[in-house]
Structure 1
Amino acid sequence: MPVLSLGDALLVSIQIDLQDNTVLALQEDLAERIVSTGARGVLIDISAVDIVDSFIGRMFASIAALSRLLDAETVVVGMRPAVAITLVELGLSLAGVRTALDVERGMKILRALSDRREVRQADEADADLVPVAEGGGPAAGA
């Protein structure tokens, strides 16, 4: 399954019926590509997918968790209503998996998450600064 780079994100467009071994291979390929490219986001386009089972649903959640461990966020895009209904009927909420109606909206989500991450990192860097008293030494009481 091809994995395309879109800036600092990866796009996987699933155009085939998913089998258990295909999803396992996708998980491995994505992990390697996230590390090798330094991607900060992963979009999984499932607009061509008609059927999912509980294993496939759990694997989407697993891919999202794996991506987070590798410092990337995952958005599943293009989910058909029938697929969403099936996932709900199977009791799979896909915890930790963000979804969007299409790739464009998915990219907006990834950009927003990236912006929040940058703000959080800047705040953390500011919190690490030690205040200095006017005399050049450590602040009183520090």
Structure 2
Amino acid sequence: MQRIPILQIGGLLLVTIQVDLMDQTALALQDDLAARIERSGATGVLIDISALEIVDSFIGRMLASISSIAHVLGANSVVVGMQPAVAITLVELGLSLDGVRTALNVERGMELLLQASGEQLHDDESSGQ
């Protein structure tokens, strides 16, 4: 079974899903991410689904479940990179992903997570360099 890598960047965890998620892989990701949040004390989780072209109802529910688990463990979460076809499919399936924060891309998602944790994203423009 494939495992989705979970990278740590400071107090944030980054999950980039590059393959179509099979049900068992999604369940393993849920378990792996919960364990990683607990071990690392991460305050934020960013889940990049920009490579996903198809999301079924099970995967949609898993994204909502992963977000809820992260919240219970004290981490904010943001799903980024949702393609329009995926958003349309989720709405047609009746999955509104209540409680799941979304952003258009990784940069905006990181900003949301950093704002939620009270940090700021600094780049050359905002730091006056």
Distance between the aligned counterparts of 1:85 and 1:6, measured in 2? 31
Distance between the aligned counterparts of 1:91 and 1:114, measured in 2? 31
Distance between the aligned counterparts of 1:68 and 1:33, measured in 2? 13
TM-score, normalization by structure 1: 0.80
- Percent identity between matched residues is 66
The answer to whether 1:36 aligns with 2:39 is: yes
The answer to whether 1:71 aligns with 2:74 is: yes
Distance between the aligned counterparts of 1:92 and 1:4, measured in 2? 28
1:56-90 CA distance string (max 9 Å, x none): 00111100110011000110000000000000000
Distance between the aligned counterparts of 1:64 and 1:23, measured in 2? 13
Bigger RCO (CA 8 Å, 6+ sep): 2
CA-CA distance at 1:115 after TM superposition:
1.9
Q: Which residue of 1 aligns with 2:123?
A: none
Q: How many residues align?
A: 116
Q: Which residue of 1 aligns with 2:84?
A: 81
Report 1:1-142 matches (<5 A). Answer: 1-115=4-118
TM-score, normalization by structure 2: 0.88
CA-CA distance at 1:12 after TM superposition:
0.5
3-state SS, counterpart of residue 45 of structure 2: strand
User: Structure 1 segments of 4 or more deviating over 2 A?
Assistant: none
Amino acid at match of 1:97: V
* Long gaps (5+) in structure 2: 120-129
Structure with higher helix content:
1
- Cα RMSD (Å): 1.0
* Long gaps (5+) in structure 1: 117-142
Amino acid at match of 2:37: I
